[in-house]
Structure formats: C-alpha cells, structure tokens
Chains A and B, each alone.
Chain A
Amino acid sequence: MTALPTIRDEEWRYADFDAVGRFAPEAIDSWREIEVAAGETFRECVVIDGSDPFLSRIRITVGKGGRAELFAVNACADYARLDVQVSLAEGAHFEFGGVTIGGGDATREFVTRTDHSAPDATSNQVVRSVHWGQATGNFLGRIDVGREGQRTDAAQDFKGLLLEKGASANAKPELEIFADDVKCAHGAAIGQMDEMASYYMASRGIAPDVARRLLIRAFIADALAALDDEDEAERLFEAALQVLERKGA
C-alpha cells in the first residue's frame, strides 16, 4: 500500500487534503482498468453530482488505431477528483471533455496523464471551469511523449469562468517530450462573465437568469463539442446547468 498523497506530489498539488484524508487508502490505490481493443471506440460520460468527497481513478489502454472518449461533468458539492491515465498505441486517439462547475468552498478537479509513447497517436482535451463562492476548479494534464512517439499531436485547452471574486481556477499542463517530431498545443485563460453580452441579452428582453444560463451553456459547450451523441450531451449540459439553479441571483 502506498502512503496517502501529499501536497508535494505534483499531481495532487491543488487537492483538498482535508477531504483526501477522509478517503480510505484502498480508494486511493484502486484503479479501474479499461482496455480498448485495436480499432475499437470506447466512450463514457460521467456525471459527478453527489455531496460526499469523490475519487475515481481510471486507467485506459487504447490499442492500435483505437479511440477512447471520456466526457465528465464534475459538479460535486464536496471535493471531487477524476484521475485518468491513458496509454495510446500507434495511431490511437484520446478525447477528453471536462466541466467543473459549482460554488461553496469545494475543489473540483480533473487530473489526466496521457502516454504518447507510440507513433501517430493524438489526444485532445478540453476543460471548462465555472465557479463562484469560494470554489476552485483544477485541470492538471500531463503528457509524456516517449522516444517512439513521433508525430504525436496532443492538445489541451482550458478556460475558467469565475462568477464571483472568491472563486478560483488552476490549469497546469506538464509536458515530458523525448521525441522530436511532436505537436503539443496548450491554451489556458481565465475570465469573468461578459457584462456587455449580458446587457445585450437584457436589452432584447432576456431575463438575467436566463441570460446567464445561455452564456454559461455556450461557455461549457466547447468541452462537449466532440461528444457525438445529442442525448448524452443534453444530459451532461443539464447536469452542469442545474447547479446554477442552486446559486440564486
């Protein structure tokens, strides 16, 4: 059994250690293993909306030319962390779309580690964080490109939308690259609600709560854009936007 993680562990640096201390050590050691066979596609949509601290760790191995898609809404009322480790074979793809949303003082985070040690594999990760109160949203994305990982194309895109002063968001990409023909793109931006867009909507008669919902839906849509299943996308949108209802004005 390994010891509990500490703040010195890179991929736990933004975690809520009060909550982490409440996890059973077994939970921290336990990984769900998923094998995606060559040429196959695996897709999973996750909604985290409970009120107890939450931890889920997934290890995905994607075979040659295979595809793993993971979409997650992290709207837990307490500390919640989704850990994903992906290992990509030649020509395989990993698609990740994540939304953290909520208020209170909870930390909600996605931590991914993508192993590009085979050639021609691609990955695309888009995370959107919407927070208020004292809440925090995190995205830690590590990408390892091994010597054989030529023509790797890995992208990470993070945007945070903070509705109130006390909220925060952190994005931390980490790249370990040992191949020379590699494309790794990464973007991160944090902003506030667009006041002019809200006013423009109001000037056309849209009530403030409806305007806010529309703007936030548009903001998180990037994270779900690659989800090619309208019903599932709608379920995730609803799960995320429902949290707003609890916020009040």
Chain B
Amino acid sequence: MLKIENLHAEIDGKEILKGLNLEVGAGEVHAIMGPNGAGKSTLAYVLGGRPGYEVTQGSVTFMGEDLLDMDPHERAAAGMFLGFQYPVEIPGVSNVQFLREALNSQRRTRGEEPLSGGDFLKLAKDKAGLLKLDMEMLKRFVNVGFSGGEKKRAEMVHMGILDPKLAVLDETDSGLDIDALKTVGEGINTIMRSADKGVLLITHYQRLLDYVKPDHVHVLADGRIVKSGGPELAHQLESEGYEAVAA
C-alpha cells in the first residue's frame, strides 16, 4: 500500500533523507528504528506533507496514487495518519470540535455524507474508552495542559476516530509509563491490525514492539534504510546497539 523509492528530502537546503527505499504491504506492521537525528521524524513529516520538507528526488506511491502530489489534508482523506512525536497544542479549539471537523472534512473530500453530532459523539466515546482516556479530556482544548502520556493517548483516539488505512506513528511510545504503553499498544492493535491496513512504527526502543509485534524491522541511519530483518532485529539492536548492528 505504501512504496517509497529512492527518496531524497531536505530541510532548509540540508539533505536529510538520502535515497530511502521502503515498501509496506497491506496487513503488515513495519518498525523503523534508528539513532537520534537519523531522519525518522523527517521521513514521517515528508510522508505527511509538512511544509518546508522538500522532496528533491524519488517517489512515494500510496494506495496506487502519487502521494507527493497530494496536499496534506488530501493525504489524510486518502487514509494516511501521522502520529506526531510532539503533538501540537491548539488553544481555543476543543478536541471534539477538532475531531468532528477532521472526520467530516475527510468524508467530504471523499464524497461521503458528514456524520451527525450524536453519531460522532458515540464514536468518540467508544475510541476514548478504548484508549482509557476520560471523555472529559476530549472536551478540553486540543492537547492543552495534557501530560506527555495523555497527548499520546489522545493521538491514538484521533487515529481510532479517523480510521486510517496507514498509520505512521512517530515515537508514540515516548513519554508513556508502562501501563499507558500497554493501553496504547493494545489500542494500535485494535484499530490497525487488519488485513487491509498497514502500520509504520517509528520507535527508539524495543518495548512498544512487545505489544505491537512487527512483521519487519528496519534500521534507519543517516537518511537511509541500512538494514532490514524480522522481529529478531529489534532485539539485536536493543542488546548490541545501532552502531554494531548497522555497521
């Protein structure tokens, strides 16, 4: 469903991604691991179309379409979800308002009918329950005053409500205590583990992978995938370190 070929991208004229290749098929969970500064977040933002992240070479195909040709909101409507390493605070806009607008915007873009207020609230309540996030939190402004863990759980509530085809999750496990990690891991499985969906899990640590078992593990270093393998690669990275494994 996602095919990245020879992707080069730069920020402010500095090349960060230097010829990255990766393919994610439907029903698969891929983990991307790598040292700080390797370009993991850059990859996520390039896939999400963040302004300022310029693709200079290569191609990305998503569900048979040219992803790089779509605006960020069109990518979302096409089924791409980006989980942010640092979720953004939006004072003055409640989660409920934000998410309802997001879901209905996506539906409009896809030519579907908008969801009614009642149906939306039912859906939101259901997904908040799945992530053990108090519904009251969703009435508050987007991420404002949320703890690190609450922000990450809220992101997974977004994902549950928007029901994407592909989730690119950038260090969703950082800032989570052990109980929250389990909740989030199970949430990802419930929402995304299905034959027609894919997950690209960017993480620093093995621990999230204990809950969300990857089918493939890749090491990203200096803007390229330098090694790929099965789940055992994550364990090897954990015990031996990136340098030894990627060398």
Whether A4 sits at the interface, judged by CB under 8 Å, is no
Segment touching B, from A35-43, A57-65, A135-143, A211-219: A211-219
Given A195-B51, A206-B73, A201 and B102 contact (CB-CB distance below 8 Å): yes
Segment touching A, from B35-43, B76-84, B204-212: B76-84
Whether A189 sits at the interface, judged by CB under 8 Å, is no
Please tell me if the beta carbons of B103 and A205 are within 8 angstroms of each other in the complex.
Answer: yes
Please tell me if the beta carbons of A215 and B72 are within 8 angstroms of each other in the complex.
Answer: no
Segment touching A, from B93-101, B121-129, B233-241: B93-101
Q: Which of B73, B87, B88, B89 contacts A205 (CB 8 A)?
A: B73
A191-218 with Cβ < 8 A to chain B? 194-197, 199-208, 210, 214-215, 217-218
Whether B109 sits at the interface, judged by CB under 8 Å, is yes
Whether A221 sits at the interface, judged by CB under 8 Å, is yes
Whether B197 sits at the interface, judged by CB under 8 Å, is no
Contacting residues, chain A, for B75 (C-beta < 8 A): 203
Whether B162 sits at the interface, judged by CB under 8 Å, is yes
Chain B, Cβ-Cβ closest to A204: B102
Please tell me if the beta carbons of B88 and A202 are within 8 angstroms of each other in the complex.
Answer: no
Please tell me if the beta carbons of A204 and B76 are within 8 angstroms of each other in the complex.
Answer: yes
What range describes how many residues of A lie at the interface? 20 to 34
Please tell me if the beta carbons of B71 and A202 are within 8 angstroms of each other in the complex.
Answer: yes
Interface residues as binary, B42-53 with A (CB distance below 8 Å gives 1, 0 otherwise): 000000111100
Q: Which of A194, A199, A203, A210 contacts B101 (CB 8 A)?
A: A210
Please tell me if the beta carbons of A219 and B76 are within 8 angstroms of each other in the complex.
Answer: no
Please tell me if the beta carbons of B84 and A200 are within 8 angstroms of each other in the complex.
Answer: yes
Give CA–CA (A197, B77) in the complex, Å. 18
Give CA–CA (A206, B91) in the complex, Å. 17
In whole Å, how far is B199's beta carbon from the nearest beta carbon of chain A?
17
Please tell me if the beta carbons of A205 and B109 are within 8 angstroms of each other in the complex.
Answer: yes
Give CA–CA (A247, B105) in the complex, Å. 21
Please tell me if the beta carbons of B77 and A205 are within 8 angstroms of each other in the complex.
Answer: yes
Q: Which of A194, A196, A206 has the most CB of B within 10 A?
A: A206
Please tell me if the beta carbons of A215 and B93 are within 8 angstroms of each other in the complex.
Answer: yes
Please tell me if the beta carbons of A196 and B88 are within 8 angstroms of each other in the complex.
Answer: yes
Given A195-B51, A203-B76, A214 and B105 contact (CB-CB distance below 8 Å): no
Please tell me if the beta carbons of A214 and B97 are within 8 angstroms of each other in the complex.
Answer: yes
Give CA–CA (A203, B50) in the complex, Å. 8
In whole Å, how far is A202's beta carbon from the nearest beta carbon of chain B?
4
In whole Å, how far is A82's beta carbon from the nearest beta carbon of chain B?
24
Contacting residues, chain A, for B97 (C-beta < 8 A): 214
Please tell me if the beta carbons of A215 and B90 are within 8 angstroms of each other in the complex.
Answer: yes
Please tell me if the beta carbons of A218 and B109 are within 8 angstroms of each other in the complex.
Answer: no
Give CA–CA (A203, B90) in the complex, Å. 14
B159-205 with Cβ < 8 A to chain A? 162
Contacting residues, chain A, for B105 (C-beta < 8 A): 205-207, 210
Contacting residues, chain B, for A217 (C-beta < 8 A): 92
Chain B, Cβ-Cβ closest to A220: B92
Please tell me if the beta carbons of A207 and B109 are within 8 angstroms of each other in the complex.
Answer: yes
Give CA–CA (A214, B98) in the complex, Å. 8
Given A203-B48, A203-B76, A205-B77, A214 and B99 contact (CB-CB distance below 8 Å): no
Contacting residues, chain B, for A202 (C-beta < 8 A): 49, 71-73, 76
Give CA–CA (A183, B156) in the complex, Å. 45
Whether B152 sits at the interface, judged by CB under 8 Å, is no
Please tell me if the beta carbons of B91 and A205 are within 8 angstroms of each other in the complex.
Answer: no
Give CA–CA (A195, B89) in the complex, Å. 12
Given A197-B90, A207-B109, A219-B92, A214 and B84 contact (CB-CB distance below 8 Å): no
Please tell me if the beta carbons of A204 and B88 are within 8 angstroms of each other in the complex.
Answer: no
Given A196-B88, A210-B101, A210-B105, A204 and B93 contact (CB-CB distance below 8 Å): no
**29 residue pairs A–B, Cβ–Cβ below 8 Å:** A194-B90, A195-B51, A196-B88, A197-B88, A199-B72, A200-B87, A200-B90, A200-B142, A201-B73, A201-B90, A201-B101, A202-B71, A203-B49, A203-B50, A203-B75, A204-B99, A205-B76, A205-B77, A205-B109, A206-B102, A207-B73, A207-B105, A207-B109, A210-B105, A214-B101, A217-B92, A218-B91, A218-B93, A221-B92
